[in-house]
Amino acid sequence: MPVVLALLLILLVVILNKFYNFVFGKPLANAPPGLPRFPIWGSYWLLLWGNYNFPHKTIHYYAKKYKSKVVGCWLGDYYTIVATNYNSIKELLTKKEYDGRLTDAFIFTSRAFGKKLGIFFTDGDKWREQRRFALRYMREFGFGRRMDKTESDFAEELGVLLDTLKSGPANENERKVLKDGSMVRFPDILYPTAANFFLTIFTGERLPRTDHEKLRVVSRAAAKFQRNSDTTGGAILVTPWIRHFAHGFSYPGFIEGSTGITNFIKKRFGTNEASFIGDAERGFLDTCIKRLKDEEGFPTITEEQVLMLGTDLIFPALTANPWAVTIIIKYMMHHPHIMEKVQKQIDTVIGRDRLITLNDRVNLPYVEATIREVMRVETMTPWSVAHRATERGTLDGFDVPKNAVLVTDLYSMHHDPEMWGDPEEVRPERFLTEDGHMGKDRSLPFGAGGRLCAGETFARQFLFLTFSTLVQNFDFSFIEGEPSSLEDRIPGFATSPKDFWARVTPRK
């Protein structure tokens, strides 16, 4: 009997030791301090317990608790390291061994014909090859590059937006976003503008105002894709099998949204292919079509790859850009003293008799500083896109195991009092020098390094031109009963503002 008890005691000790190591253990002795681990979802339980809709804020809490700028945790079976301050984030983003992605994750391959396609969720030589191809040839049509034709197209599209706001709805579809003379629905009103800015480069053609509803439809599909990459999307990432239960959580919406974008690209591909003549390339899509027709074309370009390239390039352009303009305008409505300074600088430098152009950007530093400040305070991609360590390394003095998931906590960095002093205050002046010129920008809304957002320059151009043009011509005010709080956000891959109606009136 004593022998049996002794054996049971030893077994209990072994079980308790294994349980302790499971909950509190680290993959490497010098791994950063981290959250406990629990069955199935690991530390994700604690992240959701801390803030279900915005779990990134829980890491912000634990970083303070552990007094560490780098925090470890377990997202299911994925050991994850989160960098929360400027130095650790820059270190993470500039090391090539940390440029990997979770390429085998079911949630990413399921949207790409079951393959590792596109440039957003792929890595390795194929990713580098496709990224170089896309950026090289997109630049030839004005993507991140100054070109007269592209900027002329931008100006025409902004003219259409101004005419729409001033003249009112021209058809029944526009009555869904414009009514009673001055009531405008955001961000829906901006979707066609954002989409046509991109199509100018991607296909070489913009859709006329009579077809704007088609652009709103694909933009809403892109929004569905983004917004369904939320908390439950994270759960599906770490435990793919739960998509079979509870109506798949957000998985059906995630796939429907992504498929909606891909189908739109496919239709544009068919249209361009049918009208493609000789070597006359109207946009990036024609370059891809020409490569596909060429027997000695780009060796890894296939029609599926082109569709996913287009999907990965267009979904942030159709959503994040109009969402960002909407957020900036909403902040101006909450901070009228900033709006007054913005409009005063525009009136003084430009006036109201002509459209603002990219040439004016250098002469409107307060306008640019306002955009950057709101993007800092309202970090739209608080955790950006997760990286993967392709080999063992170090981060901020801690050891990083191979295949660890690496996260840049841009939210914590953008709200770090050691870096910003008063991070919760909306103060555009922090981006200006004493004499009012643009100073050094240490915010990282588009990331950095090899995984720097491919559309950063394009996005900044869109934000500047669209925001400055709108506030040059209109005043904005809230409508009673509509979402007006700055806390009215929708979680997702990119945090978005809730749709709302605002009163938009021509400036006197």
Binding site per annotation, positions for heme: 453
Output the six-digit token pair for 195.
């989409």
What single letter denotes the amino acid at residue 392?
Answer: R
- 184's CB contacts (< 8 A; 6+ apart) are 165, 177, 178, 501, 502, 503, 504
Q: Where are the extended beta strands (E) located within 347-485?
A: 387-388, 393-395, 398-400, 405-408, 474-478
Output the six-digit token pair for 388.
């993967």
Pairing of strands 393-395, 398-400: antiparallel
List, as residue ranges, the binding site: 453
Distance CA 380, CA 400 (A): 27
Contacts made by residues 341-344, CB under 8 angstroms, sequence distance 24+: 341/366, 341/370, 341/428, 342/366, 342/367, 342/370, 342/468, 342/471, 343/471, 343/472, 343/507
What single letter denotes the amino acid at residue 25?
Answer: G
Cα Rg of the chain (Å, integer): 24
Please, are residues 238 and 281 in contact by the beta-carbon 8 Å criterion? no
Residue 179 phi/psi, 5-degree rounding, is -160, 160
Distance CA 214, CA 426 (A): 36
Distance CA 49, CA 76 (A): 15
What single letter denotes the amino acid at residue 298?
Answer: F
Output the six-digit token pair for 236.
């599906």
Decide: residue 149, CB within 10 A, 0-12 exposed, 13-18 middle, 19+ buried.
exposed
Output the six-digit token pair for 54.
């915005």
- 437's CB contacts (< 8 A; 6+ apart) are 365
Distance CA 210, CA 207 (A): 8
Give the residue among 233, 167, 160 at the shortest CA–CA distance from 191.
Answer: 160
- 96's CB contacts (< 8 A; 6+ apart) are 450
Distance CA 250, CA 240 (A): 12
Q: Is 351 left (phi over 0), alpha (psi -120 to 50) or beta?
A: left
